[in-house]
Structure 1
Amino acid sequence: MFLKAQRRRVAGLAVMALVAAGCGSSTGGGSADAETLVVYTGQSGDYQVNFNPFSPTLIDGPGTIFEPLFFFNNLRGDAAPKPRLGKSFSWNADGTELSVEVRGDAKWTDGQAFTAKDVAFTLDMITKNKTMNTTGFKGKATAVDDTHVSIRFDEPAYMEGPQVLGKIYIVPEHLWKDIATPATDPVKNPVGTGPFLLDEFKAQAFTLKSNPGYYGGEPAVKKVRYLSLSGNQAGADALKAGQVDWQTGPVPDIKDVEKNYPGYKATITPMNQTALFTCSNAQLGCTGAQTDPAVRKAVYYGINRTQVNALAFENTSSEVSPGFAMVERDKSLLSAKLKEKTAPMSPDVAKATSLLEGAGYTKGGDGVFAKDGKPLELTVKVVAGWTDYITAVDTIGQQLQQVGIKLTPQQLSWNEWSDARGRGQYELLIDSVQQGPAPDPYYTYSYFFAGANTAPAGEVANPNFGRIKDQAVDDALAALKRIDPKDTAARQPHFDVIQSRVEEVMPYIPVLTGGTTSEYNAKKFTGWPTAEDLYAFPAVWSRPENSEVYLHLKPAGK
């Protein structure tokens, strides 16, 4: 009870500090306040300035400051790509050349003109810096003239399209060519083409302001203020006090948001897959019992997902596939080769025990398995203040006692947790496996399971944090890249390989498909994504999706 009371007190102090800092009530005040969107992304601890759109520890920038060529809706397969810096694109007959026409009316916020040369420079830069190249881009870009870019590939590369066009953020050549270490530079004074630019930065909050010279017209939202609070409870309290206009995170009694938070509404969108990430690969320097596949699978079978969903996620989550295709969105692609199409919602202690005994573990008198004299003890890192994830790992830890595994949660600041994730300095941590620019599981696999996107422990991997290196998976990904996505029959055998190998190796232990919950101030702003019009994934921490939402919003009454 003391810990809960203390957490409530910290949350209350955080909200009081907001008022003292001059934020005031989000729903009142003059016209300037009415045009300011206050958001909370779940940031726990001080912000560290980093607007580098290619950094795994960035705090913002993609979509808001630095733009992609097009915006792709990764929820709806029937949604056409929306032009941003690009105007149109086309493939040649064999999928080896992507031609893009870019805007001629965009400017960098320092006044210089944006041209196709900036696109070619950006693409060339990331091919020379592995940790920046999170999409695995291998093409050669050439600026044909100021408004046309030709991107050539050595082989058919159809699946590169949404990656290159929707997930690579274009930066200004005239500034970035002089950055000695672009992969790690924090870009404290970002210059972009986007609808917003940096207004001010402080450790507890930073603010973006609308770009008056934006080619699409200055946004109706004049400022976006990002807050750092003490965690989910503080976010819920700030919401209750009208101090936050949009947050993506849990609140008590999510189904009664409109009653409990007058003026606010909520969306619940099944999207990212909650998982226990493991530093899985001993050959890449990972250490700990989790490097044994039998241990990872024993954890998998020891989880009571029904209980976790009820206690940690208010039953907003849903089933997850061990092959990491989305159960509903990608149901036509779920492999028949999987041993289990979805993870069991109830624990199978006998199965977990059999796996451990088969791997040479023996249960001691204390009920904990051991091998070679070492008890089966694991730590799981979680961000302090992320109450839903904290409850999830606490619950899973209690459940795994029945299996004979000791799991100890470690709460860290977001900065510490993020650094540990990138460098593989962890045994387990809880996070989400995220989706790509288009509604296709290929992108999740190419991000989190491709050998090219990982690194030895101690070095930064991005985003293959589980450090899986599997030749069969890499070969299947290479084959999928060459196939026209319309040819579903030709693609399925490769999805079968990936899903069955992912299930077998299990570098990410699937927990549930997260029902991403967002609460938003419908009284202050109009234009929010809804279940009837999901024009973008409604998560304030999802980029570039959040920028698309900002562009749709208008102060109420305008």
Structure 2
Amino acid sequence: MVAALAGAVALGALPAGCSGPASGDGGGADDTLVVYTGQTGDYQINFNPFSPSRIGGLGTIYEPLFFHNKAQPADPVALLGTEQSWNDDGTELSVTLREGVTWSDGEPFTADDVVFTFDLLKDNPSVNSIGFEGEVTATDDTHVEFGFEEPAFVKSPDLLSVPIVPAHLWDGVDPATDVMEQPVGTGAFVLGEFKPQAFTLTANPGYWGGAPALQRIRYDALSGNQAGADGIAAGTIDWFTGPIPDVADTHENFPSYEAFTRWQSQMVLATCSDAGAGCTGPQTDPAVRHALYEALDREQLNSLAFTGTAGEISPAFTLTPSQDEFVTGVVDETVAPMEADPAEAARILQDAGWTRGADGIYAKDGERLTLTVEVVTGWTDYITAIDTMAAQAREAGIELVSAQSSWNEWTEKKASGKFELVIDSLWQGPAPDPYYLYSYFFDSATTADVGESAGNNYARFSDRAVDEAIAELATLPLDDAAAREPHFETIQRAVLEEMPYVPVLTGGTTNIWNTAEFTGWPSDEDLYAFPANWSALDAAEIFKRLEPRS
């Protein structure tokens, strides 16, 4: 998504094939919501919900059992499931299914469809992205039970978010390769028309929740963010998740539209942190990482690199304010300072034995404090961010140097540990809970020695106490705050002390949507889903809430 959102765009001519009012009065003719997700080039038909190259259908056509709101802590929303409960030791999850649901071809939905779907995942590891290894059985047409050998409380958001497919049509389907040109689901929408330049979803009149007020969604394929901005200016797009110029004045410039930004991905300067794992360079010293943290002027960085769309970041990587309840007493400052403190950065370095040279850059044991930051060529916002941080760090006696490479090369450097710093983002899990980020990026089970391919923990961070705390959290219910708190304390203490990922800012996801033609969009007062049209399950919930004004 960084690549998709990178860079500012300028308004220009309409993309070929677009027509509509140049006043920005909206494109929702005939109750059709026009969506642009950033798709570049023609669509290739693929409505297989398990395919990484699917173009649509997840959530809208194929529903999961429950919807989990990533935007803020909330109870799961009942979809194909109505009730769910764990046994005391977290080894059995019981789910009650909704009665009276039919597939869009008229066949009844039953527990056999749920069992079939999860068996399909187990039998096809290439599409089993949640690593499901349990057993699922149907006790009757409306009840299923998931069984696990070990406590699996934290797996429920992933399990309950799996799209359910119809057993009567998918028997014999290869979920890894079939593109499902004629998808059949239980969702609020069905496939209308497909063309490489655009496809439509239409309201499902037999939807168990009642046909949605929004009758038609059209997904356009354009040429990139420039075309998305042009479509907003021309009034031919109703929902664009991406950058436009002068976003703060969207409504003044285009009265039919409003801009709405939410923050999820936490931008970091990730370090190859562990010398014991083979990392080399000044960044293996925690003092250097802490000094860099203090040297950043995040207010200036946000203005120059991210046009003011980024937000504050917690040094413990608990999203603020939606995850503030998970911040423990070991965290003194809940958000990183927005202004630089070069004096504090200097104190940290000097206490660790670094000495400032005649050129203003610190050195220790003959090693100059120069750090190379890896970035992908073309990621203009991140490139600007590195240039800005380099000027700020120099004030604190740290030299940052940018190194651009292709995405493939950049990815290989991260995985193999052949880097000093990488600018990147840490992402959230399936539910608004910091456990998932900690398990992704701080568990030593997902790292490796330099030269070997690491998983998510490419910073090579390793701490036995943190590993044990993550393992204990995996056995506890997500709502047992008292039992979980000491384990969060252990993790957050290590995260703050070691700082293998230097917090920068929380990246903003900005939406431009047509409020003149459609009502029901998420808001600060009712943040019922994470607002991004590329976040499929969230977008599906938004589509069900939208109502045409006419």
TM-score by length of 2: 0.78
- Measure how far apart 1:367 and its partner are: 5.5
State the partner residue of 1:16: 14
State the partner residue of 2:158: 163
State the partner residue of 2:318: 325
Q: Which moved more, 1:497-506 or 1:52-61?
A: 52-61
State the distance in 2 between where 1:273 and 1:47 align: 30
Contact 1:67–1:192 (Cα < 8 Å) also in 2: no
1:35 aligns with 2:27: no
Structure 1 regions of 5+ residues with no counterpart? Answer: 1-6
- Measure how far apart 1:455 and its partner are: 7.0
State the distance in 2 between where 1:196 and 1:468 align: 46
Q: 1:98-134: CA deviations, max 9, x gaps?
A: 1112346556678876543443454456567788666
State the partner residue of 1:69: 65
**What letter is aligned with 1:549?**
I
Q: 1:45-99: CA deviations, max 9, x gaps?
A: 888887675677766554234432111233444x442222323222234433111
1:148 aligns with 2:140: no
Q: 1:444 to 1:127 in 2, by over 3 A?
A: farther
SS in 1 for 2:529: coil
Question: What is the identity percentage for the equivalent residue pairs of Structure 1 and Structure 2?
Answer: 44
- Measure how far apart 1:267 and its partner are: 2.3
Q: 1:513 to 1:164 in 2, by over 3 A?
A: same
Q: 1:328-366: CA deviations, max 9, x gaps?
A: 223333122236443222224355456667888777776
SS in 2 for 1:544: helix
Of residues 407, 425, 435 in structure 1, which corresponds to 2:401? Answer: 407
- Measure how far apart 1:323 and its partner are: 1.0
State the partner residue of 2:543: 550
1:398 aligns with 2:391: yes
Map 1:153-192 onto structure 2 (within 5 A): 153-166=148-161, 168-171=162-165, 175=170, 179=174, 182=176, 187=179, 189=181, 191=183
Q: 1:197 to 1:136 in 2, by over 3 A?
A: same
Q: 1:537-557: CA deviations, max 9, x gaps?
A: 222233411111122223321
Q: 1:266-323: CA deviations, max 9, x gaps?
A: 2233444333345656777878765665554443232111211333345454432111
State the partner residue of 2:3: none
**What letter is aligned with 2:506?**
T
Contact 2:362–2:398 (Cα < 8 Å) also in 1: yes
State the partner residue of 2:373: 379
- Measure how far apart 1:263 and its partner are: 0.7
State the partner residue of 2:339: 346
Contact 2:135–2:147 (Cα < 8 Å) also in 1: yes
Of residues 217, 221, 240 in structure 2, which corresponds to 1:223? Answer: 217
- Measure how far apart 1:223 and its partner are: 2.4
State the distance in 1 between where 2:133 and 2:295 align: 41
Map 1:257-296 onto structure 2 (within 5 A): 257-278=250-271, 293-296=286-289
Q: 1:119-158: CA deviations, max 9, x gaps?
A: 3454456567788666565543223344422112334433
Contact 2:266–2:426 (Cα < 8 Å) also in 1: yes
Q: 1:29 to 1:314 in 2, by over 3 A?
A: closer
Q: 1:153-196: CA deviations, max 9, x gaps?
A: 33443333333213x3345666487548x4xx595858462435
Q: Which moved more, 1:315-324 or 1:190-199?
A: 190-199
Contact 1:382–1:430 (Cα < 8 Å) also in 2: no
Q: 1:141 to 1:445 in 2, by over 3 A?
A: farther
**What letter is aligned with 2:375?**
K
State the distance in 1 between where 2:470 and 2:435 align: 7
Q: 1:483-536: CA deviations, max 9, x gaps?
A: 334432221101111212222343432112345432211112222112222221
SS in 2 for 1:482: coil
Of residues 519, 523, 526 in structure 2, which corresponds to 1:526? Answer: 519
State the distance in 1 between where 2:455 and 2:57 align: 17
1:489 aligns with 2:470: no
Contact 1:382–1:429 (Cα < 8 Å) also in 2: no
State the partner residue of 2:202: 210
Contact 2:370–2:399 (Cα < 8 Å) also in 1: yes
State the distance in 2 between where 1:256 and 1:491 align: 43
Task: Name the larger-Rg structure.
Answer: 2
Contact 2:292–2:398 (Cα < 8 Å) also in 1: no
Q: 1:485 to 1:49 in 2, by over 3 A?
A: same
Q: Which moved more, 1:206-215 or 1:521-530?
A: 206-215
State the distance in 2 between where 1:426 and 1:416 align: 11
Q: 1:126 to 1:268 in 2, by over 3 A?
A: same
Contact 1:38–1:227 (Cα < 8 Å) also in 2: no
**What letter is aligned with 1:397?**
A
State the partner residue of 1:116: 111
**What letter is aligned with 1:305?**
R
State the partner residue of 1:101: 96
Contact 2:283–2:371 (Cα < 8 Å) also in 1: no
Contact 1:221–1:553 (Cα < 8 Å) also in 2: no
Q: Which moved more, 1:247-256 or 1:424-433?
A: 424-433
Contact 2:469–2:488 (Cα < 8 Å) also in 1: yes
Map 1:370-519 onto structure 2 (within 5 A): 376-382=370-376, 384=378, 387=381, 389-402=382-395, 403-408=397-402, 410=404, 428-451=421-444, 466=459, 468-519=461-512
Q: 1:66 to 1:29 in 2, by over 3 A?
A: closer
**What letter is aligned with 1:95?**
G
Q: Which moved more, 1:64-73 or 1:308-317?
A: 308-317
State the distance in 2 between where 1:24 and 1:352 align: 55
Contact 1:267–1:531 (Cα < 8 Å) also in 2: no
Contact 2:20–2:234 (Cα < 8 Å) also in 1: no
Q: 1:459-481: CA deviations, max 9, x gaps?
A: 98775565645443332222223
State the distance in 1 between where 2:124 and 2:356 align: 47
State the distance in 2 between where 1:430 and 1:48 align: 32
TM-score by length of 1: 0.77
Contact 2:46–2:181 (Cα < 8 Å) also in 1: no
State the partner residue of 2:294: 301
Q: 1:286 to 1:147 in 2, by over 3 A?
A: farther
State the distance in 1 between where 2:28 and 2:235 align: 15
Contact 2:267–2:507 (Cα < 8 Å) also in 1: yes
Q: 1:95 to 1:404 in 2, by over 3 A?
A: closer
Of residues 504, 515, 540 in structure 1, which corresponds to 2:533? Answer: 540
Q: Which moved more, 1:142-151 or 1:404-413?
A: 404-413
Q: How well do the aligned residues superpose, as a CA RMSD in angstroms?
A: 4.4
Q: 1:63 to 1:344 in 2, by over 3 A?
A: same
State the distance in 2 between where 1:196 and 1:24 align: 26
